[in-house]
Amino acid sequence: MDNVKQKIEELRQKILYHNDLYYNQDMPEISDYEYDMMMEKLKRLEKENPELITADSPTQKVGGTAKRQAGVLVRHDVPMLSLQDVFSREEVDAFVDNMKQELVNPEFVVEEKIDGLSLALRYQDGELKRAITRGDGIVQGEDVTANALQIKDIKKKLKDKIPYFEVRGEVYMTREAFALVNEKQELLGKRLFANPRNCAAGTLRQLDSKITKERNLSMFIFNLQKAEGKDFITHTQAYEFMHKQGMKIIHSYKVCTTKDEVWQAIEEIGARRGELPYDIDGAVVKINDFAQRETVGATSKVPRWAVAYKYPPEEKETKVINIELSVGRTGRITPTAVFEPVQLCGTKVERATLHNQDFINDLDIRIGDTVRVYKSGEIIPKVRCVIKEKRPDNTVPFVIGDTCPVCGAKTIRDDKADIRCSNPHCPAQIERWIINFVGRDAMDIKGFGMMYIKTLIENNYIKNPADIYNLYMYRDELIEKGLIGKEKNTDKLLLAIENSKKNAPWRLLCGLGILNIGKAAARSLLNHFGSFDKLSKANEDEIKEVNDIGDISAKQVYDFFQDEDNKIMLEKFKQAGVNTEQEVTANGGKFSGLTFVLTGTLTTMSRNEASELIQSLGGKASSSVSKKTSYVVAGENAGSKLTKAETLGVKILTETEFLTMAKN
């Protein structure tokens, strides 16, 4: 029993972690399918062990938590429940059979399940008064009316002046609109959105409604929540009325009466999902008659009158026409399969990474092979397997080779499976090096996009990161050649470069691209040594004294600082005025040895800023609460992490107490 209890608790914590990323941060790390499978496993374990079900389990809750950034919190008139997910025809048939047993001649409506963000619209006397996100689904959501007014699909005024009319729909982003947003993000040097759903959710919560308008969101209405002054008998009747009012309803729906008809409608939606201009993550089967919906009712989490069928991850066969090699910032050579284009999850796919030579050998993938491809997390294309019975006779095993595909230098294989270019001045390495250096995890130079980096390298203005800080000397020349744009764009980028000189020195260290030295290691090193001068004079044993720095990382750091070219580059940074020193306390920082967990919405800073503050003071910022957690910092609308901290007896700090602790 203890083992089952542990499994259930581990699953709950994983699900709560991914819930927070999905609902509250719009940054999911796993696919919907992987999440659904995790939730199904938890449901099964709880069903087998009902005595272990708790009120705070993810299976007993709806949605995320409402946040205040985009507006005030508003109470729901009608709960915005989630749907019960099903994954097989047997489960769909069981739902239809159950409804037929409880109801007299029920009709079922089958329609697309749009992959977006749920939104309720409230109309009074025919005018839109409020738009509310799902939030916690039961009690309250966020008022995002100002942003909703910027969405062209949302009807601002109805033709009929009904006293009260509330509908629910899904805000989404077409793939075309999503591509344009990410194109702009890349040009500005900002983080790219993982998928249209994330982008739509983040956009709807923006404080600046101009951004919402620019990003061109869309919306489908999929349900009548409440109406006063007009009666409706069925879901489809309500749809017809909404359509006449000019509202954009889910246009692809079918009324069915039998199991076969329901399944056929689901298969028809699935067959055309790749041709749609937007993403769907399933098909919804719902009872058509409103009175019958009332009869079967709902649980605390889901309506009993509807289910959502989730399609399995899509896979397709295609032919490999080439295997290309690219060189990264550390010299790592990455093979990529180029294949005949196929449609997967609504987008054209024609490339997938093959990782390294060992991966190629294990798959035995060759140019000319027929392969089965899929999207991991419905985002990243991957090769599942080679269909060897379709292999042509003239194929040969693919070998990466012993020379760099860009500069021709000799390649070396490291202790793992990676093959690297041995030339530190390889043009491809320099490009990736600079991209890493200016990125948000390093020097975070806003607006320094890939296009500018390539252009400046090609025109010999940048040969290493230190050259970035000499660009101001060529201002007039850059403007005249139009390499960064006109005067305004050039000056904006040069100002961002100048401002980056004040960054904490760990950002500079992280940007140098030393193998195995990411953000955490860079912070630890600078917290310990305090300056680049002291770090550069340290031997390997002294470097290994730093927490979490092992033998390999210590050697990489030591070798970097002994290299003559690197010494010249570091001197250029100092001469340019880039910050290379920070204060260090005797114990490595006042938060040294302490682990913090942040939960809820902070009012004076973002979670990322709070995490950076913790780490700058020598502490550790963790995403999950355990007995080893020193403090939980609880902001507004703190949820399950706060509850768990209270259960474990972990010390809880308010935001004010946390800031006071950091300053004193």
Query: Which residue in 33, 45, 44, 55 sits closest to 8, CA to CA?
Result: 45
Q: How far apart are the first and last CA of the chain?
A: 47
Model pLDDT, residue 67: 41
Q: Is 113 a catalytic site residue?
A: yes
Domain 427-576, CATH class in plain words? mainly alpha
111 is in an annotated binding site: yes
Cα 613 to Cα 584, 590, 663: the distances in Å are: 14, 11, 10
Cβ count near 561 (within 10 Å):
17
**pLDDT (tens digit, 9 = 90+) per residue, 498-518?**
999 999 999 999 999 888 888
Asked if residue 70 has pLDDT above 50, the reply is: no
Model pLDDT, residue 555: 92
Q: Which helix (H) or strand (E) holds 94?
A: helix 89-102
Gap between the Cα atoms of 552 and 548, Å rounded: 11
Average pLDDT over all residues of the chain: 87
For the domain 2-60, what is the CATH code? 1.10.287.610
Find the largest Cα–Cα distance for the chain.
Answer: 84
Average pLDDT over residues 253-259: 96
**pLDDT (tens digit, 9 = 90+) per residue, 152-171?**
999 999 999 999 999 999 99
Burial class of residue 485, CB neighbours in 10 A (0-12, 13-18, 19+): middle
User: Which tops the pLDDT comparison, 471 or 9?
Assistant: 471
**pLDDT (tens digit, 9 = 90+) per residue, 642-659?**
878 888 888 999 888 888
For the domain 315-419, what is the CATH code? 2.40.50.140
426 is in an annotated binding site: yes
Burial class of residue 512, CB neighbours in 10 A (0-12, 13-18, 19+): buried
Q: Domain ranges in the chain?
A: 2-60, 73-309, 315-419, 427-576, 595-663
Cα 356 to Cα 328, 329, 334: the distances in Å are: 13, 16, 6
Q: Where are the beta strands (DSSP E) in 328-470?
A: 333-344, 347-353, 370-376, 380-386, 411-413, 419-421
* Residues 168 and 223: beta-carbon distance below 8 Å: yes
Burial class of residue 517, CB neighbours in 10 A (0-12, 13-18, 19+): buried
Residue 38 DSSP one-character state = H
Gap between the Cα atoms of 284 and 343, Å rounded: 23
User: Which strands form 164-172's sheet, in the order they lie side by side?
Assistant: 127-133, 117-124, 164-172, 218-228
* Ramachandran category for residue 127: left, alpha or beta (phi over 0 → left; psi -120 to 50 → alpha): beta
Gap between the Cα atoms of 166 and 141, Å rounded: 14
310 is in an annotated binding site: yes
Residues 6+ away with beta carbon under 8 Å from 632? 596, 597, 598, 599, 625, 641, 642, 645, 650, 651, 652, 653
Asked if residue 609 has pLDDT above 80, the reply is: no
**The pair of three-digit structure tokens given for residue 210, joined into one six-digit string:** 């101009």
Model pLDDT, residue 66: 39
Average pLDDT over residues 1-9: 76
Model pLDDT, residue 172: 94
**The pair of three-digit structure tokens given for residue 18, joined into one six-digit string:** 């991914």
Cα 582 to Cα 235, 396, 431, 465: the distances in Å are: 64, 56, 29, 21
Average pLDDT over residues 606-620: 79
Gap between the Cα atoms of 262 and 430, Å rounded: 57
Model pLDDT, residue 54: 78
* Residues 175 and 344: beta-carbon distance below 8 Å: no
Average pLDDT over residues 129-150: 88
Q: What percent of the chain has pLDDT over 70?
A: 92
34 is in an annotated binding site: yes
CATH level 3 topology of 595-663: Rossmann fold (3.40.50)
Phi and psi at 653, nearest 5°, equal -115, 140
Asked if residue 190 has pLDDT above 80, the reply is: no
404 is in an annotated binding site: yes
Residues 6+ away with beta carbon under 8 Å from 179? none
Gap between the Cα atoms of 526 and 520, Å rounded: 10
User: Which tops the pLDDT comparison, 198 or 632?
Assistant: 632
170 is in an annotated binding site: yes
**The pair of three-digit structure tokens given for residue 215, joined into one six-digit string:** 């990003």
Average pLDDT over residues 324-347: 86
Model pLDDT, residue 100: 97
183 is in an annotated binding site: no
Please list the alpha-helical segments (H only) found in 328-392: 357-363
Residue with structure tokens 């530190």?
424
Residues 6+ away with beta carbon under 8 Å from 246? 155, 158, 159
- Of the residues 113, 375, 641, 644, only one is catalytic, namely 113
Asked if residue 562 has pLDDT above 80, the reply is: yes
Residue with structure tokens 């050697």?
555
* Ramachandran category for residue 63: left, alpha or beta (phi over 0 → left; psi -120 to 50 → alpha): left
Asked if residue 593 has pLDDT above 50, the reply is: yes
**pLDDT (tens digit, 9 = 90+) per residue, 100-111?**
999 999 999 999
Model pLDDT, residue 123: 97
User: Which tops the pLDDT comparison, 346 or 437?
Assistant: 437
Q: What percent of the chain has pLDDT over 90?
A: 49
Gap between the Cα atoms of 35 and 197, Å rounded: 15
- Burial state string for 600-636 with b = 16 or more CB within 10 A and e = fewer than 16: bbbeebebeebbbbbbbbbbbbbeebeeebbbbbbbe
CATH level 3 topology of 73-309: D-amino Acid Aminotransferase; Chain A, domain 1 (3.30.470)
215 is in an annotated binding site: no
Model pLDDT, residue 261: 97
Gap between the Cα atoms of 296 and 95, Å rounded: 12
534 is in an annotated binding site: no
Model pLDDT, residue 187: 64
Query: Which residue in 633, 572, 579 sits closest to 602, CA to CA?
Result: 633
Gap between the Cα atoms of 360 and 96, Å rounded: 47
Cα 450 to Cα 178, 188, 481: the distances in Å are: 19, 9, 18
* Residues 171 and 121: beta-carbon distance below 8 Å: no
Give the model's confidence band at 68: pLDDT under 50 very low, under 70 low, under 90 confident, else very high: very low
**The pair of three-digit structure tokens given for residue 160, joined into one six-digit string:** 């009929």
421 is in an annotated binding site: yes
- What pairs with residue 316 in β-bridges? 373
**pLDDT (tens digit, 9 = 90+) per residue, 124-138?**
999 999 999 988 788
Gap between the Cα atoms of 201 and 203, Å rounded: 5
Average pLDDT over residues 247-276: 92
